[in-house]
Amino acid sequence: MRTVVSIILAAGEGTRMKSALPKVLHAICGQPMVAYVLRAVLDAGCRKNYLVVGYRAEEVIETLKSFLSLREKRIEFVRQSRLLGSGHAVLQTKKDLKGYGGDVLVVNGDLPLLSGATLNRLVQAHFKQKNSLTILGAILKDPSGYGRIVENRANDEKRIRIVEERDATPRERRINRVNAGVYCFQAKDLFKALAKIRPDNRKKEYYLTDAAKILSEMGKKVGMVIAKDSSEVEGVNNRKQLANVQKCINMKNLERLMFNGVTIVDPSSTFVDSTVRIGRDTIVYPGSSILGKTRIGENCRLGPYAFIQDCRIDKDVEVRASFIYGAKIAERAKVGPFSHIRPGTVVGEDVRVGNFCEVKKSKIGQGTKVSHLSYIGDSFLGKNVNIGAGTITCNFDGIRKNITRVGDNTFVGSDTKFIAPVKIGKGAVIGAGSTITEDVPAGKLAI
């Protein structure tokens, strides 16, 4: 069987993004755009994948490593120290591929909608047609910005070449068959062609796309495959394309959830990252964003207007119009409306955190109620505690963050201030309007 490895081009700066961040690291639904391309080549079964990095290479490598984890073994980073064009980028893998006689998929790193299935179709056609190079093309209504695939007949022979838009004649520009930026090469021919590429174009770059013409002229067979779904080849060069692509990927994420038993009441106003998992029979109401490494159990009610990032939410939880980050919410808890739950918080089973409450780095025991207008910070609230309206933990003394502990079954009257550090024993009663500066023993009344 013939083997296929991939080369992903991700060294460019991405000038048109007008950004301090390298283009391939721009996030799309919670993942850097190049991570989607990696997923596609891995899905296509490439055993080895060379990612060419250049512009702020360290940053690209560091970021990607946190997304690759297990599959990292199949990915290797290759440096392009001077950014002289896509052909020059591919050339950087020459040492790694020395002696390799199989085939190579070359994929631009800015094609996050590309699927493994389309890559497979390209590779199969490449094998079947016994091509030296097979180009993935697409027919676009508006081909502007893309290289065009030009077909010529030279004494009964079909010849294919690619012309970049800025080097094209007006007639060539009318061609709506574009180069997707995805190619399958016989490795040996690829490097022969690369040796012949010259920077004789407007940008003075070594264009990989010139390989088509070079191989044709060498008498090699160059073919093409047209993408069935032209939206797959949308390249991201600017923020407008970034938004378009993000919309598509978001919709795919929502569809995946819906087919797995999640109700999305209004897909057009709901945003779910590719990294999120949601259990069946959960309902997501309009205006909600569920992001990052969030895991949500079955049968939850989320939104309207829930913003949930990097959280673990068990089953039967309700979150209404609230912001929650880096928190854990246990079964049957109810959060909101208008709560802000900050990282490090653990909300226990059957807890209620209600209207206009902020909770930071605190543990709230089972069945406890913090129903109205409270700030709970650096606190441990036991089970079945009732926190009255307007209760505040005064956790910061100007230097240190201090801890408040409240034992099980304690009743805290409205408008209480806990001057931390302070500890309230189990079953105590705090009168409304108290400012508590000292520890309260279990079962006692404090005013």
User: Catalytic residue positions?
Assistant: 372
Find out whether 367 and 350 touch, Cβ atoms under 8 Å.
yes
| Binding piece for ligand UD1, criterion CB under 6 A, among 183-191, 207-215, 288-296, 322-330 | 207-215
Distance in Å, CB of 273 to ligand UD1, minimum: 23
Distance in Å, CB of 151 to ligand UD1, minimum: 15
Give the Cα separation of 186 and 100 in Å (integer).
10
18 vs 219 by CB, closer to ligand UD1: 18
Residue 86 contact among Ca ion, ligand UD1, none, beta carbon within 5 to 8 Å by kind: ligand UD1
Give the Cα separation of 335 and 351 in Å (integer).
8
Q: Is 273 in the site for ligand UD1 (CB under 6 A)?
A: no
Q: Is 235 in the site for Ca ion (CB under 5 A)?
A: yes
| Binding piece for ligand UD1, criterion CB under 6 A, among 175-183, 322-330, 405-413, 426-434 | 175-183
Q: Is the dihedral of CA 62, 67, 69, 73 positive or negative?
A: negative
Identify the residue among 38, 49, 93, 109 touching ligand UD1 (CB under 6 A): 109
Give the Cα separation of 352 and 361 in Å (integer).
16
| Binding piece for ligand UD1, criterion CB under 6 A, among 85-93, 222-230, 283-291, 363-371 | 85-93
Beta strand 148-154 pairing with 369-372: unpaired
Distance in Å, CB of 237 to Ca ion, minimum: 5
Find out whether 384 and 408 touch, Cβ atoms under 8 Å.
yes
| Binding piece for ligand UD1, criterion CB under 6 A, among 78-86, 380-388, 400-408, 431-439 | 78-86
Residues in the chain: 447
Q: Is 162 in the site for ligand UD1 (CB under 6 A)?
A: yes
DSSP code of 182? E
* Token reading at 194: 């690369």
Residue 84 contact among ligand UD1, Ca ion, none, beta carbon within 5 to 8 Å by kind: ligand UD1
Q: Is 85 in the site for ligand UD1 (CB under 6 A)?
A: yes
Q: Is the dihedral of CA 30, 36, 42, 44 positive or negative?
A: positive
111 vs 290 by CB, closer to Ca ion: 111
Q: Which residues pair with 151 in a beta bridge?
A: 160
- Residue 339 backbone phi and psi in degrees, to 5: -110, 155
Q: Is 110 in the site for Ca ion (CB under 5 A)?
A: yes
Give the Cα separation of 85 and 6 in Å (integer).
18
Q: Is 205 in the site for Ca ion (CB under 5 A)?
A: no
237 vs 384 by CB, closer to Ca ion: 237
Helix (H) or strand (E) segment spanning residue 259: helix 239-259
Q: Which of 312, 321, 331 lies closest to 354, judged by CA? A: 321
Q: Is 164 in the site for Ca ion (CB under 5 A)?
A: no
| Binding piece for ligand UD1, criterion CB under 6 A, among 63-71, 79-87, 132-140, 285-293 | 79-87
| Binding piece for ligand UD1, criterion CB under 6 A, among 119-127, 178-186, 257-265, 326-334 | 178-186
234 vs 316 by CB, closer to Ca ion: 234
Q: Is 350 in the site for ligand UD1 (CB under 6 A)?
A: no
Contacts to ligand UD1 from residues 222-261, by CB under 6 A: 235, 237
98 vs 202 by CB, closer to Ca ion: 202
User: Residues 188-191: contacts with CB within 8 Å, 24+ apart?
Assistant: 188/101, 189/132, 189/133, 189/215, 189/218, 189/220, 190/90, 190/104, 190/106, 190/133, 191/91, 191/94, 191/97
Residues 45-64 as x/- pattern, contact with ligand UD1 by CB under 6 A: -------x-x----------
Residue 208 contact among Ca ion, ligand UD1, none, beta carbon within 5 to 8 Å by kind: ligand UD1
Identify the residue among 209, 246, 322, 434 touching ligand UD1 (CB under 6 A): 209
For residue 192, give every residue at least 6 positions away whose Cβ sits within 8 Å of its Cβ, in sequence order, or none: 218
For residue 99, give every residue at least 6 positions away whose Cβ sits within 8 Å of its Cβ, in sequence order, or none: none
164 vs 316 by CB, closer to ligand UD1: 164
* Token reading at 97: 């591929």
Identify the residue among 27, 83, 175, 432 touching ligand UD1 (CB under 6 A): 83
Q: Is 178 in the site for ligand UD1 (CB under 6 A)?
A: yes
Instruction: Print burial letters for 34-60: b (CB count within 10 Å at least 16), e (below 16).
Output: bbbbbbbbbebebebbbbbbbbbbeeb
* Contacting positions for Ca ion (CB under 5 A): 110, 235, 237
Positions in the binding site for ligand UD1 (CB under 6 A): 9-12, 52, 54, 80, 83-86, 88-89, 108-110, 146-147, 162, 164, 178-181, 207-209, 235, 237
